[in-house]
Structure 1
């Protein structure tokens, strides 16, 4: 081989590596993994945070505040149960699920009580059979509509197990979960919610979270390209997740491309736009629903670290849970008792000049905040209520 040929080949290799670095590796190293990222201690921020521990407040993936009645609702599964049954991270041990499944918990946030548990009580599902007839739910993300002054409508991502015609469990490691969207109505002040309907559709294959529109249509993130299989394992590197749109009636459809890397807890903002984060990327995709049911990207909010769930407060600000050290987050998701990962709390405001991002809270040393997914900001008091998909506690942060 001549020296000219060697130089040409070397040049091609260098060019290829340069393109790979700029297009993919640079983001993975510095945004996703967080190489060189400097974190701040929790003492730098104007909050006093504490852990509220109770077995019924474990592994609460999502939460929502009813501003009218001052009740905080949480979808909780139990930490050990979540470790065993979590289709998003390929944990398919059905025998480890908590008896009775997950639970919707209600807290009266202005009445902590002498035990500090805010009058903790459960909301019982009525009129729902479940996968095997025992009425159990396997809740993950959820959204809520105010139907009228007295009624709240809950839309749950439900990762119920797959069963055969005789309601015997199938091998979930081979078929995945039989995921659905289940809708319940709750009368304010009551402790029972009545099942309204189940949405099952092939386009809702690996649902993570849901954002509902006023007409009863919704969009949902599919965090992976498939329920199980070889391709699913590579989705966080090369993409494979998408968002689906489901009309008030009729079949659902793919609303986006399938290139997102673990699209996670999307929300519908106060402006009516859809905000979609990625847990293996560093941005929030701002999208507008089109008449044909597709989502058109209209903006991109660069955060610079992986994100879990988003929420919207009464002021219209978006709150995001960041994963500043993603490699620590993976083992913590599988066993938070032995591994922990730091969390960053972001606030995003929409202004006439564009989106403004602000780091509201961080805990470099994992003293209080670890492996968290969703933040609910109570505008009235300034408190933050924070939960995690497998975290064995609820976090409450009081502003100074």
Structure 2
């Protein structure tokens, strides 16, 4: 009896130690941020301002064209994101923003008297959604530079599900019917032309963001293991989500096991050609090499983990600047994030901005900005750094667009 009790006690102690090491410790200190000291925005050498323009709210992702000084933003308004965003289980199709997401092109060389910028919405040529209009519901996106005149946009399109007649149906039972839409844009033009739709619900079931890897191929994160159901609700605790590769001919393969990550988010291709995949839950960035090409159209390229960057707080979208540095926003107060996700109008979420510089093969992590009170940096999900001026442009999935100018 005593022997049995000893064995049971030993197993319980081992289980408790493993549970603490793998789940509880990270939940408390990384995800929730228990005991974390969060700094005030006034402690950093930047002057920040919100842009109070409804069309420049709900801008989940951004891309900066350094050559043209044009910032592209995928904006759906606060109300639109509150209604429709599968990544955080907002699936009210009827309240979704009419027309979906706008792709806005901001001229950032000169600000207007109110601190904002002039912009135009890009028209989507040669494109029809399943409902017969030209609306898209963009979560994340990436851009591939083709030549000095041409770029290709890769848009993560969270399409609402429809029936055979093109009528919206209950998304809470099916999730989004997501695709990657590829468009060609001539720099300076007022529109972009649709090239192809990539749809593969077996390998792209909850696409969060996309990274172009050259010649029309791309990789995409699935931020959950399923698009709906009970299993999805446990992903943050037991793991869920992975990376899919799609070839230039739109053939897609999962290149990580389906539960490799805990909510993988906005991945990016670095200046070194490596793929960087952040986790919203674990506060790490997994670094992968991607083989240049597959031996056969039916075989995916090798995707090999080569490093891990430990940031130590929940993370969102990575972005590469013209100097080759990576920028990423973090959420230093995980408990507040949960409240903010439920009610981003009534609550705020502090944000941190990190820069990751690779020096002789070693990753250097620098905290560039932080806003304990979320007075300006509220729920930031994307940071774009203008290497020429030092300015930071920040989008937020639910909240206002933010610009920070360096103080000399």
Per the shorter chain, which TM-score range?
over 0.9
2:377, 2:240 → 1: CA distance? 30
Look up the match of 2:391.
383
CA contact (8 A) 2:57 2:75 kept: yes
Task: Provide, for residues 12-49 of structure 1, a one-character-per-residue CA deviation record: whole Å limited to 9, x for no partner.
Answer: 21221012111222112111111111111111111111
User: 1:172 is matched with which residue?
Assistant: 171
Kept in 2, the 8 Å contact 1:244–1:252? The answer is yes
1:331-364 C-alpha deviation (Å, 9 max, x unpaired): 2123211011111100000011511101111011
For the structure 1 residues 126 and 45, does the alpha-carbon distance in structure 2 shift closer, same or farther, using more than 3 Å as the test? same
Separation in 1, partners of 2:306, 2:29: 25
TM-score, structure 2 as length reference: 0.95
2:40 maps to 1:45:
no
User: Which residue does 1:398 correspond to in 2?
Assistant: 405
The Cα offsets for residues 68-126 of structure 1, whole Å up to 9 and x where unpaired, read as: 11000000011111011111111110011111111001111111122432112211111
Count of residue pairs the alignment pairs up: 398
Unaligned runs of 5+ in 2: 295-299
Query: C-alpha deviations, 1:259-281, integer Å up to 9, x for none?
Result: 21110000000000000000011
The answer as to 2:118 corresponding to 1:114 is no
After superposing on structure 2, the runs of 4+ consecutive aligned residues of structure 1 that deviate more than 4 Å are: none
- Aligned partner of residue 373 in structure 1, secondary structure: strand
CA distance in 1, matches of 2:302, 2:398: 32
Q: Give the gaps of 5 or more residues in structure 1.
A: none
Contact residue 352 and residue 371 of structure 2 kept, 8 A? yes
Superposed CA RMSD: 1.2
List aligned pairs for 1:103-252, cutoff 5 A. 103-202=102-201, 203-252=203-252
In the alignment, is residue 273 of structure 1 matched against residue 262 of structure 2? no
Residue equivalent to 1:363: 371
The equivalent residue for 2:382 is 374
In structure 2, what is the Cα distance between the partners aligned to 1:262 and 1:56?
28
8 Å contact 1:107–1:117 — kept in the other structure?
A: no
- Separation of aligned partners in 1, 2:17 and 2:189: 60
Aligned to 2:32: 33
Q: Note if 1:19 corresponds to 2:18.
A: yes
1:316-327 equivalence runs, <5 A:
316-327=324-335
**Which residue of 296, 299, 322 corresponds with 1:314?**
322
When residues 250 and 311 of structure 1 are mapped into structure 2, their CA distance, relative to the original with a 3 A threshold, is: closer
CA distance in 2, matches of 1:50, 1:315: 24
Could you say what secondary structure the match of 2:341 adopts? Answer: helix
Paired with 2:329 and 2:339, the residues of 1 have a C-alpha distance of: 18
